[in-house]
């Protein structure tokens, strides 16, 4: 049971859990319709409940809820419902930052301001499923607000969706995408080859780089070292991989485990062979 503290709109209210002072944002179809302050309500299983106890990067959650138009809370909640259908288990704590971002995205669109996201294409490939969920925001926002979001804005929303399924902040996901983009560019520079983003080799390379960077950021290492074998059978690709890892270490400000070189070299060698065929 909850005691109504504030009705935000027909579908959202702030309630206090019975026999406590803890505030929650409660969202559900018609949950706020006809409700009055201090009224006691039951919450059904379909409603979503968000604790307002913790703070966010933007500050106190209670203050953040008060600053966001409830329509954006509804949109963010609906997107997370879609994410939950796709990924089953998500962390809904991203809801308020996501709603906050969507509100500003809509304001930018209405002011004809374009927030450029140079990593949109990389995010679309790296976080494909998250991007598909984020794309639903286009239809929702167009239907409710008559505003058309760009793919660049969808890319940023996809990072929030990714944050809801991984123990990774949006800023870390962006760093991941930037590092992957840099690594692919370095591979193209070292090999003198433009890699077709629709090719199987590109997708294999991208996925390998993604997990290589994730391991590096977490300090994890590969147990099987293939360096001696790869250096003996593909010395040129091994040299290129060594140079790429050295450059990437500077950007990440982290040491890349030496065993990663051999595995990256395998992908570079495969790209070279594909170019020959």
Contact predicate 206/270, CB 8 Å: no
Q: 203: which 2 tokens?
A: 């997708």
Q: Where are the domains of the chain?
A: 1-53, 55-167, 171-276
CATH topology of domain 171-276: PTS-regulatory domain, PRD (1.10.1790)
Average pLDDT, the chain: 88
- Closest by CA to 135, choosing from 165, 108, 156, is 156
Question: Is there a shared CATH topology between the 55-167 domain and the 171-276 domain?
Answer: yes
Cα separation, 145 vs 206, in Å, equals 36
Q: What is the pLDDT of residues 222-251, one digit of tens each?
A: 889 999 999 999 999 999 999 999 998 988
The answer to which of 53-62, 163-172, 206-215, 232-241 has the lowest mean pLDDT is: 53-62
Rounded Cα–Cα distance for residues 168 and 173 (Å): 7
The residue count of the chain comes to 277
pLDDT at residue number 71: 94
* C-beta contacts of 56-64 below 8 A and 24+ residues apart: 56/96, 56/97, 57/97, 58/96, 58/97, 58/100, 61/25, 61/96, 62/14, 62/23, 64/96, 64/100
Q: Which residue has the higher pLDDT, 197 or 211?
A: 211
Q: What is the mean pLDDT of residues 135-139?
A: 94
Query: What gap in Å lies between CA 35 and CA 15, rounded to an integer?
Result: 11
Return the percentage of the chain with pLDDT > 70, whole number. Answer: 96
Fold for 1-53, please state it. Transcription Regulation, Sacy; Chain A (2.30.24)
Per-residue pLDDT, averaged over 138-162, amounts to 93
d(CA 14, CA 132): 31
- Cα–Cα distance between 166 and 177 in angstroms, integer? 14
> What is the CATH architecture of 55-167?
Orthogonal Bundle (1.10)
Mean pLDDT of 29-41: 89
Lowest-pLDDT range of 29-33, 137-141, 190-194: 190-194
């Amino acid at each position: 049971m909850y005691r109504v503290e504030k009705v935000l709109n027909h579908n959202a209210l702030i309630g206090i859990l019975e026999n406590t002072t803890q505030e929650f944002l409660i969202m559900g179809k018609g949950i706020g319709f006809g409700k009055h302050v201090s009224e006691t309500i039951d919450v059904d299983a379909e409603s979503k409940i968000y604790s307002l106890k913790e703070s966010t990067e933007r500050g106190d959650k209670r203050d953040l809820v008060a600053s966001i138009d409830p329509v954006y809370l509804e949109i963010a909640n609906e997107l997370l419902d879609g994410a939950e259908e796709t990924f089953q288990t998500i962390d809904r704590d991203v809801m308020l930052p996501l709603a906050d971002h969507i509100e500003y995205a809509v304001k930018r669109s209405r002011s004809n301001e374009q927030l450029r996201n140079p990593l949109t294409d990389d995010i679309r490939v790296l976080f494909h499923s998250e991007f598909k969920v984020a794309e639903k925001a286009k239809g929702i926002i167009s239907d409710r607000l008559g505003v058309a979001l760009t793919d660049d804005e969808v890319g940023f929303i996809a990072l929030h969706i990714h944050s809801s399924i991984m123990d990774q902040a949006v800023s870390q996901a962006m760093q991941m995408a930037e590092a992957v983009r840099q690594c692919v560019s370095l591979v193209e520079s070292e090999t003198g080859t433009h890699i077709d983003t629709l090719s199987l080799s590109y997708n294999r390379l991208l996925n390998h780089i993604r997990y290589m960077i994730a391991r590096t950021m977490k300090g994890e290492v590969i147990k099987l070292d293939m360096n001696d074998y790869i250096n003996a059978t593909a010395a040129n690709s091994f040299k290129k991989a060594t140079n790429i890892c050295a450059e990437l270490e500077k950007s990440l400000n982290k040491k890349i485990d030496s065993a990663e070189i051999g595995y990256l070299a395998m992908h570079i060698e495969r790209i070279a062979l594909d170019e020959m065929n």
